[in-house]
């Protein structure tokens, strides 16, 4: 099933411009995102080939099958609720049967957790972004040797410095673990390289130090400590950072570099928007997709706020959301029986 097939076969129920253009937050550089709803042909729906979602290659056009769409609405999924409440000038097509699924059928106190909860995950992402932005990880990957230290009295020396100072090669070293001393090893040295010691690290990407079977009678020349926890944490940070570099939107990243505040400004704009929408829903019982505070939100997107000020704004909004939820007239959750009846009626008509 493709987007073209959905349209050609007359299976489309709803198609809307979504994202920043629906929110009224678009600029000259904004892309056009499309979301919609379709239904499967009767035989395919009743058969084994249920398709919950269809998208184009760039994922900026996404259609949801009717059942999946309603399932997400019951959970008060922000994207689906906003799709139902799309402003008229952003609706490209709307089948008359969509009148069976009004926004009032779905709005509930669940939005406190879906809108605000999702916004909080974005705040956490923003914190992680700031850390990556301010503390980049060098491209050249560190090895085990960078996390090995030689014990010397009450001090420790980085193993590579110690080897260099003593004119030794790590490949001629042999290690044996010490009982009841996690991370501590006895270090032996093969002067002429004839004993077959395995070295401290077998390669630059090894995850463990190398252990060697030492002949009886050999005496260690020093003791080595391997900070395995530190090395594991570094490997995780290295992988996450360079995965992030590979995935990031370069234009968006350069925009964040330009404003110089060290956070993802677009991400924080949508975080504040989601929190404001959640407060509005709980207070008024209505979902307004087109935001009236365009200037404020775009100033966040352009990096005119300090990061700490935005976190304070988010905290204040969360407090107001919690207070609004206590007195909101919305139901705790949508009436699933009414929703199911509406869905059955729509499918009955479609499959007549």
SS (H, E, C) the chain: CCHHHHHHCCCEEEEEEECHHHHCCCCCCCCCEEEEEECCCHHHHHCCCCCCEEECCCCCEEEEEHHHHHHHHHCCCHHHHHHHCCCHHHEEEECHHHHHCCHHHCCCCCHHHHHHHHHHHHHHHHHHHHHHHHCCCCCCCCCHHHHEEEEECCEEEEHHHHHHHHCCCHHHEEEEECCCCCCEEEEEECCCCCCCCCCCCCCCCCCCCCCCCCCCCCCCCEEEEECHHHHHHHHHHHHHHHHHHHHCCHHHHHHHHHHCCCCCHHHHHHHHHHHHHHHHHHHHCCCCCCCCCHHHHHHHHCCCCCHHHHHHHHHHHHHHHHHHHHHCCCCCCCCHHHHHHHHHHHHHHHCC
For residue 130, pLDDT over 70 is answered with no
Whether pTM > 0.95 for this model: the answer is no
User: CA 98 → CA 18, 70, 93, 104, 348, distances in Å?
Assistant: 17, 11, 10, 13, 14
Which of 60-74, 132-146, 179-193, 219-233 has the least mean pLDDT? 132-146
The predicted-structure confidence for 9-18, as pLDDT tens digits, reads as follows: 999 999 999 9
What is the predicted pLDDT for the residue at 243? 83
Nearest to 317 by CA among 267, 283, 285, 288: 283
What is the predicted pLDDT for the residue at 136? 75
CA angle 64, 66, 70 (to 5 degrees): 95
pLDDT band at 257 (very low <50, low <70, confident <90, very high): very low
The predicted-structure confidence for 41-88, as pLDDT tens digits, reads as follows: 998 988 888 999 999 888 889 999 999 999 999 999 999 999 999 999
Q: Name the pairing type of β-strands 61-65 and 91-94.
A: unpaired
Quick one: 314 exposed, middle or buried, by C-beta within 10 A (0-12, 13-18, 19+)?
A: buried
Of 216 and 330, which is predicted with more confidence?
Answer: 330
What is the predicted pLDDT for the residue at 248? 62
What is the predicted pLDDT for the residue at 261? 56
Token pair 């972004």 is at which residue? 129
User: CA 82 → CA 23, 45, 53, 65, 115, distances in Å?
Assistant: 9, 26, 17, 16, 11
What is the predicted pLDDT for the residue at 59? 86
User: CA 156 → CA 163, 222, 226, distances in Å?
Assistant: 13, 11, 11
Identify the structural domains of the chain with CATH numbers, from first to last.
1-106+334-352 (3.30.460), 109-136+249-329 (no CATH), 144-234 (no CATH)
Contacts 24+ apart (CB under 8 A), 226-231: 226/144, 226/147, 226/148, 226/183, 226/185, 227/147, 227/148, 227/149, 227/183, 228/147, 228/183, 230/147, 231/142, 231/144, 231/146, 231/147, 231/207
What is the predicted pLDDT for the residue at 132? 52
Residue range 123-149: average pLDDT?
74
Token pair 């089948």 is at which residue? 95
181 phi, psi to nearest 5 deg: -145, 80
Residue range 291-314: average pLDDT?
89
């Amino acid at each position: 099933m493709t987007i073209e097939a959905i349209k050609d076969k007359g299976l489309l129920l709803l198609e809307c411009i979504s994202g920043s253009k629906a929110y009224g937050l678009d600029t000259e550089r904004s892309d056009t995102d499309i979301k919609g709803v379709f239904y499967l042909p009767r035989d395919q729906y009743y058969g084994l080939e249920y398709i919950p979602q269809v998208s184009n290659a760039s994922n900026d056009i996404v259609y949801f099958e009717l059942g999946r769409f309603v399932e997400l609405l019951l959970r008060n999924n922000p994207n689906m609720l906003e799709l139902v409440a799309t402003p008229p000038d952003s609706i490209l097509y709307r089948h008359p049967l969509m009148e069976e699924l009004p926004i009032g059928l779905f709005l509930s106190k669940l939005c406190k957790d879906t809108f605000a909860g999702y916004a909080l995950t974005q705040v956490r992402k923003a914190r992680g972004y700031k850390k990556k932005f301010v503390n980049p990880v060098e491209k050249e990957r560190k090895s085990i040797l960078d996390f090995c230290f030689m014990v010397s009295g009450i001090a420790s020396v980085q193993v590579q410095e110690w080897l260099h100072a003593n004119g030794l090669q790590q490949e001629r070293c042999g290690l044996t673990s010490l009982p009841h001393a996690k991370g501590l090893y006895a270090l032996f040295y093969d002067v002429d390289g004839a004993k077959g010691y395995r070295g401290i690290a077998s390669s630059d990407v090894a995850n463990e130090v190398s252990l060697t079977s030492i002949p009886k009678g050999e005496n260690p020349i020093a003791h080595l400590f391997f900070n395995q926890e530190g090395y594991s944490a570094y490997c995780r940070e290295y992988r996450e950072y360079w995965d992030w570099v590979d995935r990031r939107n370069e234009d968006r990243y350069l925009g964040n570099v330009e404003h110089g505040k060290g956070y993802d400004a677009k991400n924080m704009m949508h975080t504040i928007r989601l929190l404001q929408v959640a407060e509005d829903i709980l207070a008024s019982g209505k979902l307004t997709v087109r935001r009236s505070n365009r200037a404020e939100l775009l100033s966040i997107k352009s990096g005119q706020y300090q990061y700490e000020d935005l976190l304070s704004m988010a905290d204040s909004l969360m407090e107001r959301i919690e207070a609004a939820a206590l007195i909101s007239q919305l139901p705790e959750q949508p009436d699933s029986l009414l929703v199911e009846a509406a869905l059955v009626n729509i499918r009955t008509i479609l499959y007549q």
